[in-house]
Amino acid sequence: MSSTAVVILNWNGKDFMKKFIPQILSRTDFSGGSVLYVADNGSQDGSVEWLRETWPDGEVRLICFDRNYGFTGGYNRAFAEIERSGAKFDYFLLLNSDIEVTDGWLGELERFMDSHPRCGACAPKILSYDRRTMFEHAGACGGYVDRWYFPYCRGRILSKVEEDRGQYDAPCQVFWASGAALMVRSELWKQSGGLDESFFAHMEEIDLCWRAQLAGWEIWAVPSSRVYHVGGGTLPNNSPRKLYLNFRNNLLMMYKNLPDGARGRIVLSRMCIDGIIACLYLLTGKMSFFKAVLKAHRDFRSMRRSVVRTAAACPVTRPKVTMVALALKGFRYPDGKIGD
């Protein structure tokens, strides 16, 4: 039987943990050797004290850090600590603190990975916690990128979110799986070095999935497993900081993973598109968003000097579809076949 280290990375999320950890314990079969961990990123809201008081017997295992290392640094340190402890797991699962799981969610993912040995990472169907029949923005039912590497999902394109009517209920190979609830084969995690800590947060799971594909692994959405995501628990969707990280990290991801012959041309074209978007922010009075895009480009130009390029054992085909084409088609694909 396969085993999974389920890790919730927490930063001042005591209220979410009070709400969702008891549900995780009651709705998840941990009898096969799987374990629930909470890795705390230097919280100051009493999270650590509450966890120790509530589960003194170690049913929820606690890993504490001295400060906030971000999403990337926190998870890298958490899984490294688990490895150092001598614990061995087939799979690592990154789980946001604001996720409500459903009965059997973990077993569905484990069984899929067990039966698909080339699947390096997968994610469940992610629905909105507040609007239960709607897909959730962060991952929906599997992610893709367009020709210019803007991410979108089955069930969510830009800000357009679909209702879940079972249209994406078949497992599907995708480009990326959401870090809100991401299962990764431990072999792949160690092979890839985990998440890129220069990202800090946002786009890091897309980068990991892209690197996995370049190494010959597959990424899948597994909709038989279902979770509900509150979203915006750390940074709200209208945050200039979040916008900055998304634009900066998207460029870093492209610079790392695109082939040498096309990298410069595609990245330059993408930066021009970003410039147009920034001008639209300026014209509509969104000065903080305008400045966030400019800062993202400035920091990308500085950071790219230290970027470690990904060696490609298996080429990944550049997508043909663009966001404009997706918009003209109504932002939805009821047959579930996207990405050509």
**Residues 288-335: tens digit of each pLDDT:** 999 999 999 999 999 999 999 999 999 999 999 998 888 877 666 545
Q: Are 85 and 5 in contact (CB under 8 A)?
A: no
Nearest to 2 by CA among 168, 116, 153: 116
Q: Model confidence over 193-225: pLDDT tens digits?
A: 999 999 998 999 999 999 999 999 999 999 999
Give pLDDT tens digits for 88-144. 999 999 999 999 999 999 999 999 999 999 999 999 999 999 999 999 998 999 999
Helical axes 14-27 vs 47-54, angle rounded to 10°: 30
Residue 287: Cβ within 10 Å count = 11
- What number of CA atoms fall less than 13 Å from residue 44's CA on the CB side? 3
- pLDDT tens string 66-79: 999 999 999 999 99
DSSP 236: -
In a domain, 297, yes or no: yes
Residue 340 has pLDDT above 60, yes or no: no
Residue 53 lies in a domain: no
Residue 5 lies in a domain: no
Cα angle, residue 143 at apex, residues 19 and 228 outer, rounded to 5°:
15
119 part of a folded domain: yes
Check residues 58 and 7 and name the one with the higher pLDDT.
7
Long-range contacts of 326-331 (CB under 8 A, 24+ apart): 326/146, 326/152, 326/157, 327/157, 327/158, 331/157, 331/158, 331/160, 331/162
> Helices (H) and strands (E) in the chain — how many of each?
10, 13
Give residue 132's domain range: 98-340
Within-domain flag for 256: yes
Structural domain contains residue 76: no
56 in any annotated domain:
no
Q: Tell me if 83 is assigned to some domain.
A: no
Q: Which residues pair with 182 in a beta bridge?
A: 94
Number of domains in the chain: 1
